[in-house]
Structure 1
Amino acid sequence: MKINLVEKSAKNSSDIEIVLVKTLDGLKDSEILEILDFKAKDESCVLLAESKKIYVGFEENDYDSIAIAIATAIKKFQTTKFKSAKIKLCEVLENNLKALVEGALLGEYKFTHYKSEKENKKIELNLIVKEKTPELEKVLKESKIISKAVNKTRTMVNTAPADFYPSVMAEVAQELAKDANISCEVYGEKYLEKNKMMAMHSVGRASIHESKLIHLSYKPKNATKKIVLVGKGLTYDSGGLSLKPSDSMVGMKMDKSGGCAVLSTLWAIAKLGLPFEVHGIVGAVENMIGGNAYKPDDILKAKNGKTIEVRNTDAEGRLVLADCLCFAQDEIKDIDYIFDYATLTGACVVGVGQYTTGIMGNNEILKRNAVLSALKSGEYATTLDFNRYLKKAIKSEVADICNVANTRYGGAITAGMFLDNFIYDENKEKWIHFDIAGPAYVESVWGYNPHGGSGAGVRMTIKFLQNLID
């Protein structure tokens, strides 16, 4: 979709008009809208073909309500043969231009790669403003980049595992790096062995696809802070020898969502020109079964020397992240923030629902700032607190730590506390764990998010970094 800012005084010949409605009072078509039982509510939408207008309701003057409204209108627009639409922006919509642009671009997204018949309809959206100010132009530009990054993540997540395995993920990372003019290093299994990253190495060793450690680096001049983003890149997770039930394997292409979010976020950060040095570390691995698979009862040694008792090979993401977190801290010094992203636990989905990210760590203020950034960006998030009693649940009698807890309760938190064992003392207060297991992949449309990958993590991370500038 092409989105333009058009001044009110300029000529415009759009095919149809989209009208966002908070109240029916004073509307020219209010009588017919009432007959059609249209209400100014979220996701309420009607097309008046003869009038060439799409009316869509919204309830609040906030990001979510406006983004959902425009996404709903765009979906209705896509069902017509019209090619261009206009929206006359009032003060409320101008103040929420970010929501309007991102809602339109995110709502338009469809994953049709595997469809035998594809629609290649190109549409245009003209936003009519009183005056094109530099501020509005900046918001439009930034929102386009952010939306593109989210949609890139969605496409990667939705791609079938036969077409998206570790070496492909590495190739995509190199392509994104080239496009954004940032550096990219890719390491294979020999590197993992040499550098004693045996937790990550063990997870992927039964796959025919070699595991890859990906390191993206964005280093602008005069960077004011140094940030590290670490992503779980399980391109497919069968559960390993602790094999998942067949129904639970469906959709496990989504287990790479954290790594995909990190790749796209690095691309967006570079495109936005944010004044921070940012590194992206992704462990791209496929967890499969075979004669060489790692086993329950194995004792693995991570990069920092800690030993891990394996009691369930389906708790593999935390093993990959453990070594990636150690790699990041060993290779990158003087870090200001270190964030990791993972579809880590079903327990998080049970606890907070499928639309919300669980945020964990040791720094209460940092966690709450992350939640606030998520909410302002259009994502849902909440904190899950560590506690001394759950810490005991991951104690091992034969190793330093166990990869699963001895209790069925608090699984998201115990997974986060497992990762805390691989955060060095000097970085304890700088680290946040984002469990995106719920929102990263949902098999139904929600708001401006499609069936499948949502791109969770991208917008809230960029918003957090932008807040550091403010």
Structure 2
Amino acid sequence: MNFNINNANIKDIKADLEIIIVIDKNLKHKSVKDKKLLKKAGFSGSQDEVCHLVEKKRLYVGAETLKGRGIRPAVATAIRSLIGKKTYKTIKIATYVSHPRCSASIRAMVEGLVLGSYTFNQYKSKKVKCPVKNVEISLEGYEAHEITMEVAARALNNGVIAAEATNFTRDIVNTTPDDCYPEIMANIAEELAKENKLKCKILKPKELKKEKMETLLAVARASRHKPRVIHLSHKPKNPKAVITLVGKGLTYDSGGLSLKPADYMVTMKSDKSGGSAVLGLMKAISEMNLPVEVHGFVGAVENMIGGDAYKPDDVLVSKNGKTIEIRNTDAEGRLVLADTLAYAQQEVKADYLFDFATLTGACVVGVGHYTSGVLGFNEEVKTMVTKQAKIAGELATALDFNPYLHKTIKSSIADVCNISNTRYGGAITAGQFLSEFIDEEHKEKWAHIDIAGPAFVEHTWGENPHGASGAGVRMMLRLIEGLARKKEAH
């Protein structure tokens, strides 16, 4: 999809279709050209409501606000309605800006168009795609707010990068476990490094053994696909900050010997969503060339069953020396993260440390399918994440640690147990388990982001399609962009 910013009035731009956003059900606004027809069609302009007037070559969609949270899903819904309709190669759309010199809505609009046009056709014999090749954005605004070409172009460029990185992440997550296993994730990382001038280091089993990453190796033991730990780095000159990102890359999770029920195994290709998000983030960060040093680590593993599988009752020794009693082999992601986090902290002393994981079903129970849980010791860092998630159009909420739940992961025979002794508060106890592998230097710099809810949902929602959403990419990209600006200001 190619974008062009145009100084011409919207009526003077030639296109196969015009998309018009109706803000806050205001059908009396001057931009609404077909008031009578819309009334006849029963169109009210509510959020994401679509009315396509084919003969008029206009497609109307409702948004509750001029802000990104309304614009992004509205245009995504509009463009999605064109998928499979070959007639529309070029579309045009006006500029929707909430206040003077603010380009956030332009970025949100561009993100919505790219995210909404996403299709995953790899396994379809008949490919159905979005027909739109060119988008003309007129600087004629919904409101009389002036936006310069330069400001609009920057918002457009950043929006395209953010959305394409999200779609890149979606593709990895949606790929089946037989086509995307640890070695393939490592290959994707190496190709990304080559294309985007990133540094890349891949640890294979011998190196993992040397690094004493025994808990990660235990999870991988029964799979025919050998594990990998990926380290990508973006290292500009004179960086404003150093940030470490760590992702859980379970390319498939059967549950191990604590076998999942059959219907719970379906969609477990999505257990690599955290690691995939880290790869997507490294793509976006390098393409924006942000003045921040960023390191992305992915623990890529497959959790299977077999004669060599690790077992409930095993005691494993983690990279940081702590012993872990295994009481459930389906709580494997935290074991992979324990060693990957320890390795990341050994390799990089960061100003901020964030990990991403589809870690617990308990998080989905607690906050729903669409929201990520954010945990950690530092309230300011957690607030940074939730604030930037909101700006990016993702949903995230803080979950608090407490000492009473922490007691539930104590073990009588080891330093810590990999599951809690209570069925309640599972997202929090999983985060507290991870905290055992955060060193003192990083404790106040760390946040764990449980993306189990939004990472993979089997229906369309907002700007997200059926399947992988690319959760975590846009929120963390916004956060890192914000840190770059903040550091520059100082």
Normalising by structure 2, report the TM-score: 0.94
Contact 2:97 2:106 in 1 (8 A): no
Q: 2:89 aligns with which of 70, 83, 88?
A: 83
Q: 2:65 aligns with which of 47, 60, 69?
A: 60
1:40 aligns with 45
1:123 aligns with 133
| Structure 1 residues 259-408: aligned runs within 5 Å | 259-333=275-349, 335-408=350-423
Tell me how far 1:91 sits from its aligned partner. 4.1
Q: 1:31 aligns with which of 32, 36, 47?
A: 36
Contact 1:5 1:132 in 2 (8 A): no
| Structure 1 residues 125-144: aligned runs within 5 Å | 125-130=135-140, 133-144=149-160
User: In 2, Cα distance between the equivalents of 1:32 and 1:44?
Assistant: 15
User: In 2, Cα distance between the equivalents of 1:194 and 1:90?
Assistant: 55
Contact 1:14 1:86 in 2 (8 A): yes
User: In 2, Cα distance between the equivalents of 1:28 and 1:162?
Assistant: 51
1:168 aligns with 184
User: In 1, Cα distance between the equivalents of 2:322 and 2:79?
Assistant: 52
User: In 2, Cα distance between the equivalents of 1:59 and 1:47?
Assistant: 19
| Residue identity matched to 2:116 | G
RMSD (CA atoms): 1.4
2:3 aligns with 3
2:16 aligns with 15
Paired residue secondary structure (1:77): coil
User: In 2, Cα distance between the equivalents of 1:309 and 1:15?
Assistant: 63
1:215 aligns with 231
Contact 1:241 1:295 in 2 (8 A): yes
CA offset digits 1:2-22 (Å, max 9, x no partner): 222111169632111111112
| Residue identity matched to 1:119 | V
Tell me how far 1:196 sits from its aligned partner. 1.0
Contact 1:343 1:435 in 2 (8 A): yes
Stretches of 4+ aligned residues off by more than 4 angstroms: none
Tell me how far 1:322 sits from its aligned partner. 0.2
CA offset digits 1:143-174 (Å, max 9, x no partner): 11111100000000000000000000000011
| Structure 1 residues 399-438: aligned runs within 5 Å | 399-438=414-453
Contact 1:47 1:76 in 2 (8 A): no
Does 1:108 pair with 2:124?
Answer: no
5+ residue gaps, structure 1, are none
User: In 1, Cα distance between the equivalents of 2:97 and 2:403?
Assistant: 50
Tell me how far 1:89 sits from its aligned partner. 2.1
Compare 312-321 and 35-44 and name the one that shifted more.
35-44
1:465 aligns with 480
Paired residue secondary structure (1:423): coil
Does 1:179 pair with 2:195?
Answer: yes
1:151 aligns with 167
Tell me how far 1:92 sits from its aligned partner. 3.7
User: In 1, Cα distance between the equivalents of 2:61 and 2:128?
Assistant: 24
Contact 2:250 2:272 in 1 (8 A): yes
CA offset digits 1:196-238 (Å, max 9, x no partner): 1101010001000000011101100001211100000000000
Tell me how far 1:58 sits from its aligned partner. 1.0
Paired residue secondary structure (1:155): helix
User: In 1, Cα distance between the equivalents of 2:58 and 2:466?
Assistant: 27
| Structure 1 residues 170-249: aligned runs within 5 Å | 170-249=186-265
Contact 1:356 1:382 in 2 (8 A): yes
In the alignment of these two chains, the number of paired residues is 469
Tell me how far 1:119 sits from its aligned partner. 3.2
Contact 2:84 2:128 in 1 (8 A): no
Contact 2:252 2:272 in 1 (8 A): yes
Assess, with a 3 A threshold, how the Cα gap between structure 1 residues 262 and 182 changes in structure 2: closer, same or farther. Answer: same
| Residue identity matched to 1:40 | G
| Residue identity matched to 2:138 | I
User: In 1, Cα distance between the equivalents of 2:402 and 2:205?
Assistant: 36
Tell me how far 1:53 sits from its aligned partner. 0.7
| Residue identity matched to 1:6 | N
Paired residue secondary structure (2:482): helix
| Residue identity matched to 2:433 | F
Paired residue secondary structure (1:216): strand
Tell me how far 1:132 sits from its aligned partner. 5.2
| Residue identity matched to 1:108 | S
Tell me how far 1:193 sits from its aligned partner. 1.4
Tell me how far 1:73 sits from its aligned partner. 1.2
Normalising by structure 1, report the TM-score: 0.98
Tell me how far 1:49 sits from its aligned partner. 1.0
Tell me how far 1:122 sits from its aligned partner. 4.6
Aligned-pair identity (%) = 52
CA offset digits 1:313-352 (Å, max 9, x no partner): 000000000000100111113x100100000000000000
User: In 1, Cα distance between the equivalents of 2:225 and 2:364?
Assistant: 29
Contact 2:275 2:357 in 1 (8 A): yes
